Amino acid sequence: MIVTARTDMPLRGELRLNESLARYTSWRVGGPARRLFRPEDAADLACFLATLDENEPLLWLGLGSNVLIRDGGFPGAVIVTQGRLNDIETSGVRVRAEAGAACAHVARLAARLGLTGGAFLAGIPGTMGGALAMNAGAFGSETWDKVMSVETVDRHGVVRTRYPADYAIAYRSVSGPTGEWFLSCELQLDEGDAKAEQAAIRALLDKRAETQPTGQPSGGSTFRNPPGDYAARLIERAGLKGYRIGGAQVSEKHANFVINTGEATAADIEQLIDHMQTKVADAFGVELVREVHILGVPA
């Protein structure tokens, strides 16, 4: 299905100019966006996209995890879905979630309704849009294992329905039609016991709190796990646990997390990430691949 946006409708969302992105990222760093838009709903978003110049850079932010915005900011339009585009609907064992819905909220709602198979989503510190874009996973499961269909929108505001066969899906990697972004997805779960699924979510979250620095500003996992190994193990063996550059530090709790101790700049974090890659490559001959996307311009 293809739906074309109306361009004669006034924008209803919130548009800000030269807005600092630090408040919109989980690292709490980042320079200003030239324009930042928080859409009222999917139709409003489509109208905004249809007004953009073809060459204007475009960035989407959900909860702001898994992304590092440089101190010079982003020289284009940033669309923030946090608190917007967050509807979740259910029908039988199907769950439709918009791109701005927090993964943890999807997991909890499904569990309350006695739907099983989505508990792992509670361990993903982001929104469904981000989870779809990178095939995010936790505790041995991945987002696209549950996807039946998605809705996408392009920069002309055209909405399309697509299916898993339209994408090349791998570990922390999704590639498909260029120039389209995820608006929503339909997940297929299973019928089960609500209390058991809620208990499973609590156990997963307890495990996450025990092993990850959940109470400190970070971008989530910094690197993908290399085949047959763990990035955290290699970083720790390279002697980097607790290592600092400026206000950025390799977490003492989990070596694959970089935390902002309170006064970090994006430059501090990027320099530390580069240092971690170099040290692991020198020590073990393994080239760690970033999960974190680094965007924008230096200060």
From the list 139, 133, 177, 132, the residue with the least C-alpha distance to 155 is: 177
Residues 70 and 266 sit within 8 Å (Cβ to Cβ): yes
Q: Residue type at 184?
A: S
Residues 282 and 275 sit within 8 Å (Cβ to Cβ): no
Three-state secondary structure call for residue 195: helix
Of 160, 172, 208, 244, the active-site residue reads: 172
Residues 107 and 122 sit within 8 Å (Cβ to Cβ): yes
Cα 107 from Cα 117, distance rounded (Å): 9
Cα 183 from Cα 151, distance rounded (Å): 5
Of 221, 251, 270, 290, the active-site residue reads: 221
Of 19, 180, 197, 291, the active-site residue reads: 291
Cα 61 from Cα 298, distance rounded (Å): 19
Cα 77 from Cα 19, distance rounded (Å): 10
**In the structure encoding, which two tokens stand for residue 209, read together?**
């709190």
Tell me whether residue 172 is one of the annotated catalytic residues: yes
Tell me whether residue 291 is one of the annotated catalytic residues: yes
Cα 201 from Cα 158, distance rounded (Å): 37
**In the structure encoding, which two tokens stand for residue 145, read together?**
């294992």
Tell me whether residue 16 is one of the annotated catalytic residues: no
Residues 110 and 189 sit within 8 Å (Cβ to Cβ): yes
Catalytic residues: 172, 221, 291
